Amino acid sequence: MTAERDGAPDRPDGSDRPAPVLAELYQELILEHYKRPRNKGELEDADVEMHLMNTSCGDEVRLQLRLEGGVIRDARHMGNGCSISQASVSMMSDLLKGKTIPESIELAQRFTDMMHGDPVAAREKRMGALRALAGVSQYPVRVKCALLGWDALLQALKKIGGEEEEEHGTGGSEGRDR
Amino acid sequence: MDAQLTRWRAETPAAAAGLVHLNNAGAALMPAPVLEAIEDHLRLESRAGGYEAAEQVAPLIADAYEDVGRLIGAGGRNVAVVENATAAFALALSAFDFAPGDAILTTRNDYISNQLMYLSLARRQGVDVVRAEEALEGGVDAQSVREILRRRPVKLVAVTWVPTNSGLVQPVTEVGDECEAAGVAYLVDACQAVGQIPIDVSRLRCDFLSATARKFLRGPRGIGFLYVSDRALADGRAPLYVDMRGAGWVAADDYRLAGDATRFENWEFAYALLLGLGEAARYALAVGVEEAGRRALELAAYTRERLGALDGMRVLDRGARLCAIVTAQVGALDAREVVAELRGWGINTSATTRDVALLDMDAKGASSAVRISPHYYNTRQEIDIAVGALRGLV
């Protein structure tokens, strides 16, 4: 059951609409991440940190990443806000570990696509638990809650890319290793 | 005008368009995101079907409960969503099995519908309705509550935090301390408090708290909520008439209550309004209830000062602590006529009459009063406009 929840099961008919039971599972999954967030806390040896606040609703996320050889080895977050913003960043922090920077950017892009109503993105296995958030796309006013942590991720990765460019004079965003 | 106020007013289209809305104790103007949340869901219901729409947005529905919980320092599991504060209050009362001679300890300033419920319980169940003494400056005297609790057994203490007919703020935290010490259940009506006074249910030590969306919280009409404490849930408190939402029918002659506050809910309610309520809670959290209350209070104090300087105007608010509700007797005029006159000029206020607050209005010797209730998105200029209009009427 736990594995199924964490993996956010597919609907048998392949539709992006959650079936009633699935809707309950999704709801539980989000509340589970909200009440018991994964990877919450400080990273002492973070390579990059990004703090973002949604001024219109007060939601707040501070994301820290540790990378080795261009791969995200650890991701931690702090902050507060609604269950959507906090569950989203919690799920994200789980998925990021072991991903390269390009893979992380691609995941962020697919999640953004899902939040903008892309039904294909909402069915992709690699989205894992994030698929529970697909229903949020119905409400433009709440999409920014779900995207807050991802915006922090993209800005953090951009920061790394910028620093790297300064250090090595390359245009790429990979290969940072401290 | 500072940047925050400019933004709040821009997100309140009617205020930005020039409506002087000083009836936030009646129903505040909804900010745009609240309206948007409601409209979005109604549109989704029309596209997908009502039940199907609710399934699609289950996470946002759950989030609305959590956001309302955050607003009062509770978890989502402690929140039951109901039609309004009075319905919430009645559900909480129905969780007690009153027998003849049981006492409800309340105040002289409790809201009319609550007073009527106590009297109905007295008439039908033989309950004793005991009203604690007033403090000299107005509002219930917590010392009197303590003495009554020492003197006689009491089944429930019920207090309206802010009565609808005046700017009084009752000392609900102090009363909560007395209830805790005496081990008596405590029900707080926070209908006029939520959105203008920060609420932390753990500080209030209450078992139940009822509230509405439409007033200082700036949510939609037709929805409210009931906070149910973990203690009340563990004690098995439940409404007299349990709905299929609140319990499972587990055997021919048995049912099992929901583990959380949904045991107080009905299966059917307006999901669009629920999402509007959640958005209103989030909006209030972003503004900051403390900041909202500070601004509203400052405007109310300014209103009292300006009204007090007018000949023929009598400000009626009494109490050691006042809120953003200002009531005043306008000469010998019927307040309802005054309100109608002001509305013709694009100024929204409301009237309170003796019959909705018998004890308080008689003590003040007033038959009616105009009620002016600013909120944080109002301005001093709007108060000046309203006072100018009233000056012409007195």
Of A143, A70, A76, nearest to A111 by C-alpha is A143
Residue A165: pLDDT above 80? no
**Residue A123 near residue A10 (C-beta atoms within 8 A):** yes
Contact A2/B at CB under 8 A: no
Q: Which of residues 261-290 of B touch A (CB under 8 A)?
A: 275, 279, 282-283, 285-286, 288
Instruction: Compute the distance between CA of residue B267 and CA of residue A120 in angstroms, rounded to an integer.
Output: 33
Q: How far is B251 from chain A (nearest CA, A)?
A: 23
Of B281, B269, B142, B279, nearest to B211 by C-alpha is B281
- Collect all residues of chain B within an 8 Å Cβ-Cβ radius of residue A135: 56-60
Domains along chain B with CATH numbers: 3-30+288-393 (3.90.1150.10), 34-286 (3.40.640.10)
Residue A174: pLDDT above 50? no
Residue B73: pLDDT above 70? yes
Residue A88 domain-assigned (yes or no): yes
Strand-pair category, B185-189 with B156-160 = parallel
Lowest mean pLDDT of A22-31, A42-51, A109-118, name the range. Answer: A22-31
Residue A46 domain-assigned (yes or no): yes
Query: Cβ of B62 and A82 within 8 Å?
Result: no
**Predicted pLDDT of residue A24:** 80
What is the b/e burial string over B58-96, where b = at least 16 CB atoms within 10 angstroms of the residue's CB?
A: bbbbbbbbbbbbbbbebebbbbbbbbbbbbbbbbbbbbb
Q: Which two tokens stand for residue B59?
A: 């996470």
Query: DSSP characters for B280-328?
Result: HHHHHHHH-HHHHHHHHHHHHHHHHHHHHTSTTEEE---SSSB-S-EEE
Residue A128 domain-assigned (yes or no): yes
Residue A134 domain-assigned (yes or no): yes
> pLDDT (tens digit, 9 = 90+) per residue, B281-300?
999 999 999 999 999 999 99
Domain of A125 in residue numbering reads as 37-161
Q: What's phi and psi for A43, nearest 5 deg?
A: -105, 120
- Collect all residues of chain B within an 8 Å Cβ-Cβ radius of residue A57: 33, 282-283, 285-286
Instruction: Tell me how many domains chain A contains.
Output: 1
Residue A26 domain-assigned (yes or no): no
**Residue B392 near residue B341 (C-beta atoms within 8 A):** no
The per-residue pLDDT of chain B, averaged, comes to 97
Query: Cβ of A136 and B285 within 8 Å?
Result: no
B207 DSSP 8-state letter:
S
Residue A31 domain-assigned (yes or no): no
Q: Where residue A68 sits, what CATH number does that domain have?
A: 3.90.1010.10
The average pLDDT across B261-265 equals: 98
User: Residue A55's closest chain B neighbor by CA?
Assistant: B286
What is the b/e burial string over B178-203, where b = at least 16 CB atoms within 10 angstroms of the residue's CB?
A: bbeebebbbbbbbbbbbbbbbbebee
Residue A97 domain-assigned (yes or no): yes
Instruction: Compute the distance between CA of residue A27 and CA of residue A4 in angstroms, rounded to an integer.
Output: 14
Residue A96 domain-assigned (yes or no): yes
The average pLDDT across A78-107 equals: 96
ipTM over 0.90: no
Instruction: Determine whether B137 is exposed, middle or buried from the number of CB atoms within 10 Å of its CB (0-12, 13-18, 19+).
Output: exposed
> pLDDT (tens digit, 9 = 90+) per residue, B363-387?
999 999 999 999 999 999 999 999 9
Instruction: Compute the distance between CA of residue B103 and CA of residue B112 in angstroms, rounded to an integer.
Output: 18
The average pLDDT across B30-58 equals: 94
Query: Cβ of B67 and A82 within 8 Å?
Result: yes
